[in-house]
Amino acid sequence: MSPIIEIILIGCLVATTAAIPGCFLILRKMAMMSDAISHSVLLGIVLMFFAIKTLHSPLLIIAATITGLVTVVFTEALISSKKMKKDAAIGFIFPLFFALAIILITQYASNIHLDQDTVILGEIAFAPFNRMVWGSIDYGPIAMWVMGIIGLINALFIGCFYKELKIATFDPALASSLGLAPSRLHYGLMACVCMTCVGAFDSVGTILIVALIVTPPATAYLLTRKLSTMILLSIIIGCLCSVLGTILALAIDGSIAGAMCTVAGTLFLLSFLFSPNHGIIHKFYTQKQQKIQFSAILLTIQFLNHQGEDSFEFSIENLIDHMRWSEPFAQKIISYALAKNYIKRNKKAYELTPYGIEVAKNAMASS
């Protein structure tokens, strides 16, 4: 395989691995927890590195995962102790862990591979050079194997507990009444996030993994409301980031991880603007339509409630004065209601048609 293909493949693996727990994180309103975890795991990596003096051992992943979980436990303990609010508790622990890790690296490990820039930016471009060689056979880059295994674990965890996670996410009270142990599921999910951050640390770096955990699921959530579709879609979007990101990085000779994030951001922006159901352009248009429809019905109710009163209640001046509508808006609603045959002209004012009366009564009955 050519290195480029390998880079893209590793990128796809990272993106897929990240997207799976990412979907649950954003649904559980815990996206920022991934930011905290991704920073904290560095401390575990550094400490274990000092213990075993190598960067290529599964022990590193275990140590880092434990540090990530410690962060989660500390953060939650701080929240439940009521000494800090949620945001401050999330934001307090990880800078400390990260700062300690950076200090340790600069003081004691400055000559090895573990330098500051790699930590933050990762260097996926070098991933194909670290190869898994057994005897004389080359099994491909190590990063591919690491991410593959972690991805498999994530997929297995979510696959096995899909139903339980779904209930625990949307209705935690129901989940615990069903005996589903939401807190154990929660820590399982957190362990997945931790492992993902550790595994991806080499290739995309500490912070950019957050982009891959949060952004593709967020993009997918703007496009669909079905959980299984959302997971599938975020995997596809993640892989798209990997492919397009690598191409972009090669074209402008920049950081691949940075380019992947840029693509992820662009895709997010596109769906934020143009999503057929939840994009803001669609929303803006339908809301305007809805507002006109709603206001026309409001008009019929208003007329119905004031039937038999002063003819002023039925004039356009009333709409401007009492309803506080602007004149053009009032005109627009009147013409809409006329077109819909809700009202008809009666000298200087308007009156309800029989159909309009029916519309008003229906609207009132259904509210």
Partner 1 sequence: MTLVIDYPVIISLIGAILIGLTSGIISCYSVLKEQSLLGDAIAHAALPGLCIAFLLTLNKSPMVLLMGAMSAGLIGTLFITAIIQKSILKEDTALGVILSVFFGFGTLLLTMIQKIPTARQSGLEEYLFGNAASILKSDITIMSILAILIVGSTLLFWKEFKCLIFDPDFFQTQGFSPRKANFILIILTVISIIIGLQSVGVILMSAMIIAPATAARLWQKKLGAMMILSIIFATTSGIAGVLLSSAVYRLPTGPTIVTVISLIVIISLIFSPQGLLRQWIRKKINQRAIRLDSILSNLYTLAKTHDDLTHPHDINTFNVLGEIPPLYLLQKLESDGFIYNHKNNEWGLTNVGISKAIQVLQRVH
Partner 2 sequence: MKKDPTEIAVSIKDLTVAFDKKPVLWDIDLDIPKGALTAIVGPNGAGKSTLLKAALTIIKPTAGRVDIFGQPIKRQLSQIAYIPQRNSVDWDFPTNVLDVVLMGTYGDLGWIKRPGKKEKNRALNVLEKVGMETFYDRQISQLSGGQQQRIFLARALVQNAAIYIMDEPFVGVDAVTEKAIVTLLKELRDQQKTVIVVHHDLQTIDEYFDWVFLLNVRQIAFGKVKNTLNEENLRLTYGGRHSFITAHP
317 binds, among partner 1, partner 2, none (CB under 5 to 8 A by kind): none
By CB under 8 A, tell whether 294 contacts partner 2. yes
How is 185-252 classified by DSSP, letter by letter? HHHHHHHHHHHHHHHHHHHH-TTHHHHHHHHHHHHHHHH---HHHHHHHHHHHHHHHHHHHHHHHHHH
Contact (CB, 8 A) for 332 and 340: no
By CB under 8 A, tell whether 321 contacts partner 2. yes
Among 295, 337, 342, 359, binds partner 2 (CB under 8 A): 295
Among 322, 344, 345, 348, binds partner 2 (CB under 8 A): 322
Contact (CB, 8 A) for 3 and 198: no
268 binds, among partner 1, partner 2, none (CB under 5 to 8 A by kind): partner 1
The SS3 of residue 321 is helix
By CB under 8 A, tell whether 26 contacts partner 1. yes
| Alpha carbon distance 317, 287 (integer Å) | 25
Task: Pick between residue 293 and residue 335 the one whose CB is nearest to partner 2.
Answer: 293
| Residue range at the interface with partner 1 (CB under 8 A); choices 175-183, 231-239, 251-259, 294-302 | 251-259
> Residue 253 Cβ, how far from partner 1 at the closest point, in Å?
6
| Alpha carbon distance 293, 280 (integer Å) | 19
Residue 16 pairs with which residues in a beta bridge?
Answer: none
| Residue range at the interface with partner 1 (CB under 8 A); choices 147-155, 175-183, 277-285, 358-366 | 277-285
By CB under 8 A, tell whether 107 contacts partner 1. yes
302 binds, among partner 2, partner 1, none (CB under 5 to 8 A by kind): partner 2
| Alpha carbon distance 263, 254 (integer Å) | 13
Considering Cα of 163, then 191, then 239, then 90, what sign does the dihedral take?
positive
Among 58, 107, 163, 324, binds partner 2 (CB under 8 A): 324
Binding site for partner 2 (CB under 8 A): 287, 290-291, 293-295, 298, 301-302, 305, 310, 321-325, 364, 367
